[in-house]
Amino acid sequence: MTQKLDVLEKKISINFKNKSLLTNVFIHRSYLNEHKNFPIQSNERLEFLGDSVLSLITSVYLFKKFPYLAEGDYTEIKSAIVKTDSLADAADSLGLNDYLLLSKGEEKGGGRKNKNILADCFEALIGAIFLDASFEKAYQFVGSFLFKNKLDFIVKNKKYLPSKSQLQEMIQGKYKTTPQYKLLEQSGPEHKRVFKIGVYFAGKKLGVGVASSKKEAEEEAAKKAFENLDRL
């Protein structure tokens, strides 16, 4: 394990003083179920810390680099970049799954490709870098391996906006009109309603969304609409 971690240290250009802390990053709780006497705890505490550090890093980065944006934009961009998929992609690009210590069951169940496990591992690594080195090192690491050109792309192309806003902006900009949302169906008891909503443009149904609120169903319909824009 130690030799393998040397490769990771070179890749991220960080040499850990506390090697046990780095090992801790990769210990999934399932592994400890089968190795009761393992001397190091699971990565859950590091993941908790890393999540908070990442939140601060993202806030500082956005504040410095995009001073012209509103607070609401910061919130949306932050959600877009620190979501599970983005973190899992960053973990995958670094090959963090190679270092994971999992139970046999988790291994067989595809744990090394599990996005939640990978995202948690990436956050745990941020927490470990923060503890072993500094906030500045963690900031540089996140900038290099999570943000890269991705965050700039999200901001430039307004990918942080909800799908409904993106769809309206696109159609309004091109056709000088807006898409229409129609309630197609609602079912279930009053305390557990399910709404089915379609989004239409120029008489064509672009997408359908189903959710427990009209707002969520409209957002889901807008997401689906982007898959059918060639029909416009």
Q: What are the contacts of 141-146 at 24+ separation with CB within 8 A?
A: 141/12, 141/14, 142/54, 142/57, 142/58, 142/61, 143/61, 144/12, 145/12, 145/90, 145/93, 145/94, 146/54, 146/81, 146/86, 146/87, 146/90, 146/122
Q: Single out the catalytic residue among 76, 123, 219, 220.
A: 123
Catalytic residue of the set 44, 51, 89, 216 = 51
Per the listing, tokens 């799954």 go with 97
Judge contact between 188 and 178, C-beta under 8 A.
Answer: no
Rounded distance between C-alpha atoms, residue 207 and residue 159, angstroms: 19
Q: CA-CA distance, 170 to 201, in Å (whole number)?
A: 12
Q: Write the CB contacts of 155 (distance below 8 Å, at least 6 apart in sequence).
A: 66, 69, 77
51 tagged catalytic: yes
With beta carbons less than 8 A apart as the criterion, state whether 122 and 138 touch: no
Half-sphere exposure of 212 (CA within 13 A, CB side): 4
Catalytic residue ranges = 51, 123
